[in-house]
Amino acid sequence: MFNKESETKEMVRKKYAEIARQGKEENAASCCGSGGCSTEVYNIMTDNYDQLEGYHSDADLGLGCGLPTEFAGIKTGNTVVDLGSGAGNDCFVARNACGPEGKVIGIDFTTEMVQKARQNAEKLGLNNVEFREGDIENMPIGAQVADVVVSNCVLNLVPNKKAVFSEVFRILKSGGHFSISDIVLTGKLPDKLLQAAEMYAGCVSGAIEKDQYMEHIQEAGFEAVKIQKEKPILIPRDILSQYLSEDEIDQFLNSPPSIQSITVYGRKPSEQKCVPGGGCC
């Protein structure tokens, strides 16, 4: 089902357009907001934003898998870019950190999400938070613009993750850095989960091996790469029952956790190294 990148993107776009039209309560009862796929009344990925200044519940659709803005080291006056900005949740937290002197740019390829984010920004009266519709594999933003890049549970939805990290390198200023929360694999998922469209839009089957993920970051040219936080993601039995037999579920649940949420940091070298696609060659 996922051998064609364009088909994958269109599936994700349709699913997240549907999510944009839902409320947080509906999303929070699902796996990463991907639809009513669990009867458990909590989201299996997301962390609690309540303690972060700048948080606005109207912009929180319960779609994240970490708190990248908490680890991003955003300073007053910074320009921050949020990849897959959704309804604007992380952008508004970032705006609180960079202040009125800074600027926040959110990028999302779902029209409905961009519209929702713009409405939220208008309600909050924020004139230095901007939302652009575009593909993070080919970002609608110039080279060496951002001091900080953040993203929350988005790259796992993108077929060409290597291209995204090359774009992050391109748009960051020399010495700039990113803090990205994402889903990675530390073992093999059952084929039936890998083939499930709902599980792809739910941030699980689109994930890649953790080592491969970290290699993409290194290959893009980043330094000081480190994992800032990690936690296992446990898929509830009622979700698994939609795709696996009882024996397959028991085998999966009795194996070591194979899905993790990580928040990873990387810095663009202060002395520009020419990396293909990095905006300097």
Each residue of 2-11: pLDDT tens digit? 456 777 677 7
The CA distance from 177 to 142, in Å, is: 16
Q: What is the pLDDT of residues 159-202, one digit of tens each?
A: 899 999 999 999 999 999 999 999 898 877 777 777 665 565 55
DSSP for 1-37, please give it. Answer: --SSHHHHHHHHHHHHHHHHTS-HHHHHTSSTTSSS-
The CA distance from 129 to 134, in Å, is: 16
pLDDT at residue 190, as a whole number? 78
Domains of the chain: 5-267 (3.40.50.150)
pLDDT at residue 151, as a whole number? 97
Strand partners, 262: 182, 230
Find the Cα–Cα–Cα–Cα dihedral 93, 134, 6, 279, rounded to 10°. Answer: -100
pLDDT at residue 12, as a whole number? 74
Secondary structure element (H or E) that encloses residue 106, with its range: strand 103-108
The CA distance from 215 to 58, in Å, is: 36
pLDDT at residue 76, as a whole number? 98
Cα→Cα distances 152→18, 195, 254, 277, Å: 19, 23, 28, 23
In the predicted model, residues of the chain with pLDDT beneath 50 are 1-2, 29-42
pLDDT at residue 278, as a whole number? 55
Beta strands in 115-189 (DSSP E): 129-133, 146-152, 172-185
The CA distance from 68 to 82, in Å, is: 10
β-strand 172-185 against 259-267: which pairing, if any? antiparallel
pLDDT at residue 44, as a whole number? 58
